[in-house]
Amino acid sequence: MEDLKDILRSCGFSFKKQFGQNFLTDTNLLRAIVSDAGVGESTVVLEIGAGAGALTRAISERAKRVLSYEIDRALQPVLARTLAGCENTEIVFRDFSKENLLALEGELGEYVVTANLPYYVTTPIVLRFVEESASCRGLTVMVQEEVAERFCAVAGTAEYGAVTAAIARRGTCKVVRRVPREMFTPRPNVDSAVVKIDFTEGGFAVASPRAYRETVRCAFLSRRKTLENNFVNTFGLTRAAAKEILQAAGIPDGARGETLTPPVLGALSDLLVEKGVIQ
Ligand code: SAM
């Protein structure tokens, strides 16, 4: 393939900051990310943000099929050149956040997400798969390093939050690769990391995912307040009723939400459903 920067230049492409356009060009890094994702000849891959197609091409070399979304139509002539000959790859020029995920899944079957995500929408995109997906087996995604720390955080740390707890319900999450800012064109102001979220291992069942979301929201509502206070404020419980529920869940007096592990939050949400606090 011709040099990516030459292709971008000859197509007269100008980078759009508002779309989070920081492209990767290093072939070794791109192949390593595809390896991290565990993509093989039977894997169907959904990519969000094809960009100039460098990662798309690396995925295409290993996968059964690649479906890639790109919001910026100005990349069409670039992608026509970089993805020439990639017969198993289709680019859809649409805003991924407006797509109907369940309809898309009906067409894809089992798949994984592999992407260097646009940073301005990283968390909503990841949460969408966490909350809505039925046939996604997991995501291997490049995100800002600070976001990666939040996704994979341990209970009780400053990075631990509602996003961590949401992801943990569905599976395991780990940082598999650190990527310095110098690897991107143009160079962003922060370093990045590749995070692997695996829906096929870890995770736990809850009576109601919606109740779990509400419980988690309540637990992190006001980080400096005790869970008991957050309970009283969120669910309109009396102090005595809040104490009783927390005691029944084995949560010590005065505990803050941020100290509870995701499975404990799961058990607590089940109890709130059982007691009729969350319908
Ligand atoms: N995959 C390429 C790479 O690794 O070099 C590009 C990654 S770049 C960080 C993110 C890409 O996502 C950009 O090309 C941007 O135009 C595209 N993008 C941003 N928002 C999008 C959206 N809502 N739906 C689809 N693509 C989007």
Name the residue with the closest Cα to ligand 1, atom 3.
Answer: 23
pTM of the model: 0.96
Alpha carbon distance 137, 153 (integer Å): 21
**Residue 131 C-alpha to ligand 1 middle, in angstroms?**
22
Q: What is the pLDDT of residue 223?
A: 83
Alpha carbon distance 184, 138 (integer Å): 24
**Residue 213 C-alpha to ligand 1 middle, in angstroms?**
28
> What end-to-end distance do the CA atoms of the chain give, in Å?
57
Residues whose CB is less than 8 angstroms from the CB of residue 35 and which lie 6 or more positions away in sequence, other chains included:
none
Q: What is the pLDDT of residue 61?
A: 98
- Say yes or no: CB of residue 147 within 6 Å of ligand 1: no
Query: Along the chain (279 residues), what's the average pLDDT of each consecutive run of 10 residues?
Result: 87 95 96 98 98 98 98 98 97 97 97 97 97 97 98 97 98 98 96 98 97 96 91 93 94 94 97 94
Q: How does pLDDT run across 28-40, given as a tens digit for each residue?
A: 999 999 999 999 9
Q: What is the pLDDT of residue 109?
A: 98
- Say yes or no: CB of residue 51 within 6 Å of ligand 1: yes
Radius of gyration of the chain (CA): 21
**Atom of ligand 1 minimally distant from the CA of 98:** 23
**Atom of ligand 1 minimally distant from the CA of 24:** 5
**Residue 209 C-alpha to ligand 1 middle, in angstroms?**
29
Q: What is the pLDDT of residue 1?
A: 62
